[in-house]
């Protein structure tokens, strides 16, 4: 079959690989001049930065793509498990090293925060059990096919419904486990941001997320996150996938209720038996399918959060690690502010420094490349030009205080990514990082399916559709979609 894929984001590339491995003729159309979408990189005055994702979990989903094509992943894409998942800092001076080793992490939590180690271990074991019983089924299968619901594993999961904490929020679930240790609650609450959600609203089912990081591990790809894109892009070329870069698709063409092809902005027509859209589902309907019925209820679901990122070349070595989090004093206020489209004056700040593991990412020894991220609301027309300098000032003040270094003076060069540019660079509706949020119990069921109910031969893949955003879920989305489309 001839299959057209709109978008060379990580989910589009992974879908193209799987479909080409099945023998289909696959052509990808990408509006940008480069592959990867959000998972891209850039250089600034000798500093290399991963532009988007910085945290790599579930690497076996990448390996699986090489194996699917009969290749040994280790020959093409190498990565290692990191020793420390994250360095945490609190405004009162408390610091905690979240070791990858579960037992060491629990011991550190006991020593620094006073939480009994066995409580931490028990919580992580519960998180693993939830994932094994339910997470796997609902993330690896379509929720919109009857066959998923007829599986024995689903019936078994239903028996355990109360165990999943579905009807409590993530925060309530953490409160129940760690009521006397608010810093531990805050530490686990922050996992809601892994899919752009609010811990005070997202379902307790999302307490499966720490399992990915603390039980399975955090990994670092040799030469940075961008090598996930380059490794998979090169694999797709070896499988014969064709790419048209700098080529925006302007419409999806149909005959009756069947796909017939697509049209590019320069007016070229391409005939396809099937089309897979890796473009944000909202814009796929609004821009490429204007004359067709739109699933308005799904498209109206609340968006995930966005982010504000400062990429700083830093001309001094610091004691920071690969992943660092500087918590706010009042986490609930931070999320309340975000719900109102604002960023608090004391935001939680995340810093990723790849030069800690890849020294060639900086122009000379003793320098660092800081990816400084603050959670931000999606773009609803706020005055970002006024907000960004204010947030920058607050971030610099906070980091300078906690680290006791004059951060402003260490910045050699700077680039900024914000909700408006996230939207314009990857056509992500309102600049949301992860498509739709998971801020209600039914969110998983209100994501768009991986296929069209009204147009035969049209499929959807990526962060804005089932099972959701983030690299691992995008790769699972590609697995589900390609099993339907080819």
Residue with tokens 């990408």: 30
Query: 193 or 328: whose CB is closer to ligand FAD?
Result: 193
Q: Is 428 one of the binding residues for ligand FAD (CB under 6 A)?
A: yes
Query: 321 or 470: whose CB is closer to ligand FAD?
Result: 470
Question: What number of CA atoms fall less than 13 Å from residue 320's CA on the CB side?
Answer: 32
Query: 50 or 165: whose CB is closer to ligand FAD?
Result: 50
- Minimum Å distance from CB 98 to ligand FAD? 15
Query: 47 or 178: whose CB is closer to ligand FAD?
Result: 47
Q: Is 55 one of the binding residues for ligand FAD (CB under 6 A)?
A: yes
Query: 412 or 416: whose CB is closer to ligand FAD?
Result: 416
Q: Is 419 one of the binding residues for ligand FAD (CB under 6 A)?
A: no
For residues 313-342, which are near ligand FAD according to CB under 6 A? Answer: none
Q: For ligand FAD, which stretch binds (CB under 6 A), given 10-18, 290-298, 406-414, 449-457?
A: 10-18
Site string (243-272) toward ligand FAD, x via CB under 6 A:
-----xx-----------------------
Q: How far apart are CA 434 and CA 444, in angstroms?
A: 13
For residues 446-475, which are near ligand FAD according to CB under 6 A? Answer: 462-463, 469-471, 474
Helices within 351-470 (DSSP H only)? 384-403, 407-410, 419-426
Which of residues 3, 4, 5, 6 is near ligand FAD by CB under 6 A? 6
Using CA atoms in the order 13, 17, 18, 24, what is the torsion angle rounded to 10 degrees?
120
Which of residues 170, 422, 476, 480 is near ligand FAD by CB under 6 A? 422
Q: Are 477 and 61 in contact (CB under 8 A)?
A: no
Q: Given its phi and psi angles, is residue 48 left (phi above 0), alpha (psi -120 to 50 degrees) or beta? A: beta
Q: For ligand FAD, which stretch binds (CB under 6 A), given 51-59, 86-94, 129-137, 397-405?
A: 51-59
Using CA atoms in the order 52, 56, 57, 58, what is the torsion angle rounded to 10 degrees?
100
Helix then strand then coil, % of the chain, to nearest 5: 45, 20, 35
Q: How far apart are CA 229 and CA 221, in angstroms?
A: 11
Which of residues 9, 221, 261, 419 is near ligand FAD by CB under 6 A? 9
Q: Are 350 and 323 in contact (CB under 8 A)?
A: yes
Residues near ligand FAD (CB under 6 A) are 6-12, 29-32, 37-39, 52-55, 248-249, 278-279, 307, 309, 422, 426-428, 433-434, 462-463, 469-471, 474
């Amino acid at each position: 079959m001839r299959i057209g894929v709109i978008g060379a984001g990580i989910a589009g590339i992974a879908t193209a690989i799987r479909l080409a491995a099945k023998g289909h003729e696959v052509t990808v159309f990408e509006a940008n001049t480069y592959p990867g979408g959000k998972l891209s990189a850039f250089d600034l005055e000798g500093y290399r930065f991963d532009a988007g994702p910085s945290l790599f979990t579930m690497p076996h989903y990448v390996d699986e793509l090489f194996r699917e094509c009969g290749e040994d992943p280790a020959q093409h894409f190498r990565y290692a498990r990191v020793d420390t998942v994250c360095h945490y800092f609190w405004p009162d001076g408390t610091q905690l090293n979240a070791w990858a080793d579960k037992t060491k992490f629990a011991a550190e939590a006991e020593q620094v925060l006073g939480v009994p180690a066995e409580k931490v271990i028990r919580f992580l074991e519960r998180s693993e059990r939830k994932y094994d019983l339910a997470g796997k089924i609902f993330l690896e299968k379509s929720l919109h096919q009857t066959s998923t619901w007829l599986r024995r594993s689903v019936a078994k999961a239903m028996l355990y419904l109360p165990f999943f904490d579905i009807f409590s929020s993530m925060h309530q679930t953490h409160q129940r486990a760690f009521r006397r240790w608010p810093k531990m609650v805050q530490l686990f609450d922050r996992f809601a941001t892994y899919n752009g959600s609010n811990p005070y609203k997202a379902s307790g089912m999302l307490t499966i997320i720490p399992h990915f990081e603390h039980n399975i591990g955090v990994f670092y790809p040799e030469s940075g996150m961008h090598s996930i894109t380059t490794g998979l892009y090169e694999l797709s070329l070896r499988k014969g996938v064709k790419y048209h870069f700098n080529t925006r698709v302007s419409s999806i063409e149909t005959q009756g209720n069947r796909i017939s092809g697509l049209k590019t902005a320069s007016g070229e027509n391409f005939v396809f038996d099937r089309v897979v859209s890796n473009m944000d589902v909202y814009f796929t309907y609004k821009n490429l399918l204007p004359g067709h019925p739109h699933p308005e209820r799904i498209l109206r679901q609340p968006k995930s959060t966005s982010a504000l990122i400062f990429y700083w070349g830093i001309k001094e070595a610091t004691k920071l690690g690969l992943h660092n989090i500087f918590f706010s004093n009042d986490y609930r206020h931070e999320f309340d502010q975000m719900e109102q489209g604002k960023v608090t004056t004391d935001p939680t700040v995340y810093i990723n420094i790849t030069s800690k593991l890849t020294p060639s990412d900086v122009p000379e020894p003793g320098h660092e490349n800081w990816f400084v991220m603050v959670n931000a609301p999606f773009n609803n027309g706020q005055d970002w030009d006024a907000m960004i300098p204010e947030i920058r000032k607050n971030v610099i003040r906070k980091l300078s205080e906690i680290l006791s270094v004059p951060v402003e003076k260490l910045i050699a060069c700077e680039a900024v990514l914000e909700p408006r540019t996230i939207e314009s660079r990857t056509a992500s509706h309102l600049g949301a990082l992860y498509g739709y949020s998971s801020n209600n119990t039914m969110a998983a069921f209100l994501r768009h399916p991986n296929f069209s109910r009204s147009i035969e031969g049209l499929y959807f893949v990526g962060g804005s559709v089932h099972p959701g955003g983030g690299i691992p879920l995008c790769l699972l989305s590609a697995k589900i979609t390609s099993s339907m489309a080819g």
